[in-house]
Amino acid sequence: MAKRDYYEVLSVPRNATESDLKKAYRRLAMKHHPDRNPGDRAAEEQFKEAKEAYEILTDARKRAAYDQFGHAGVDPAAAAPDGFGGAGSFSDIFDTVFGDIFGGGGRSGARVNRGADLVYDLEMSLEDAVAGATTEIEVPTLAVCRTCNGSGARSGSGMINCSTCGGHGAVRMQQGFFSVQQTCPRCRGTGKVIRDPCGSCHGHGRIKQHKTLAVKVPAGVDTGDRIRLSGEGEAGEHDGPAGDLYVNIHVKKHRIFTREGSDLYCEVPIGFVTAALGGDLDVPTLNGRVTLKIPAETQTGKVFRLKGKGVKAVREREVGDLLCRVAIETPVHLNSDQKDLLRAFAGTMKTGHHSPQESSWLDGVKRFFDEMKF
């Protein structure tokens, strides 16, 4: 992806003073800093973009080169090694523009590469997600080889110039009319190769291992939230910085509650006698039992809201509610005496309006058939 104009990134005119640049960068840094936007990769990229623009434009030499040649004037990859042409030559600019097509230009010296980011899926209970918890995880990663301290070379050995590129880190390729500079395939642009590889890491400078980390999960997280552990990813090559570890939260299905944002939901079965006459019912919450008062003549599907018995989500100030939906149960396994009592009770229900929903439904059915044309 092509880089944006540095002045556009900072939203300043091309004649902006150093003070103007500093104010613009400070404003963007405060807005997009990763610590203020945990897990937001877009904000992280905008922060990096603003930082790069500020560093270039506050350096008088780099700014002059950028104003004259654009990104090609300040891109380190555009600088040619000794013996491959002078700085600012057409070949340098061509390599910068078309480097991705022909393999990119190299540069002498060891190339520092940041370690890869890692992702870990953490499954946890609803109770731990709501209350917060510290849990240990084991992560497979690439760590710095302790035998060679990341150099990749056996003790007492060292690096020698690459014989393919002569230590330049790049080789020339003829592409028709153009002579194109390309990263050396043997040393991968470092210009150096290991004389005697380390026996532990076989010259890679890193080894596979599992590391145990204690992850502090804040209270109120939910499925889809992500925790970033800076520097806990893979170790970088050639003493490069380590990547980050992203812990993705997955909350296990609960046997009683379901969660939607800050609210909890549960279904409460009640007997038809309690529904008809009313009564008190103990219902569970994440903080213990509470008494729910069931009014007389409660219908199935009625939802009762218990304020403040839900969850305080990570980015919310208020605690949500617990919503209990009652489901009236039909009695089962009745003996003969109980069946007789119910038949006698049903005989008393023939007069009066005791089933409002049934009556309205039957009236609707009657109107439906009356309006039908056969």
For residue range 10-69, what is the model confidence (pLDDT) as tens digits? 999 988 888 889 889 888 888 888 777 888 888 888 988 999 988 899 888 888 888 877
CB-CB neighbours of 359 under 10 Å:
11
Give residue 94's pLDDT. Answer: 37
pLDDT level of residue 93 (50, 70, 90 thresholds) = very low
CATH of the domain at 347: 2.60.260.20
CB-CB neighbours of 13 under 10 Å:
9
CB-CB neighbours of 267 under 10 Å:
14
Residues 355 and 262 occupy one common structural domain: yes
Tell me: the pLDDT tens digits for 326-368?
A: 999 988 999 999 999 989 988 887 766 666 666 666 666 667 6
CATH of the domain at 88: 2.10.230
AA identity, residue 103: G
Q: How far apart are CA 169 and CA 111, in angstroms?
A: 10
AA identity, residue 287: N
Residues 121 and 95 occupy one common structural domain: no
- Among residues 214, 230, 253, the one where a domain terminates is 253
Q: How far apart are CA 160 and CA 158, in angstroms?
A: 7
Residues 349 and 234 occupy one common structural domain: no
Looking at the structure of the chain, the number of domains it has is 4
pLDDT level of residue 197 (50, 70, 90 thresholds) = confident
CA distances from 27 to 7, 24, 56, 59 (A): 14, 5, 17, 19
Residues 188 and 272 occupy one common structural domain: no
- Per DSSP, the residues of 103-142 read T----SSPPPBPPPPEEEEEEE-HHHHHH-EEEEEEEEEE
Mean pLDDT (whole number) for 264-292: 92
For residue 186, the enclosing domain spans 80-105+159-194
Residues 212 and 272 occupy one common structural domain: no
User: For the ranges 21-35, 65-79, 84-98, 252-266, which has the lowest average pLDDT?
Assistant: 84-98
Residues 248 and 132 occupy one common structural domain: yes
Residues 118 and 247 occupy one common structural domain: yes
Tokens (6 digits) for 195: 């004389």
Tell me: the pLDDT tens digits for 120-175?
A: 999 999 999 999 999 999 999 988 888 888 878 888 777 788 888 888 888 877 65
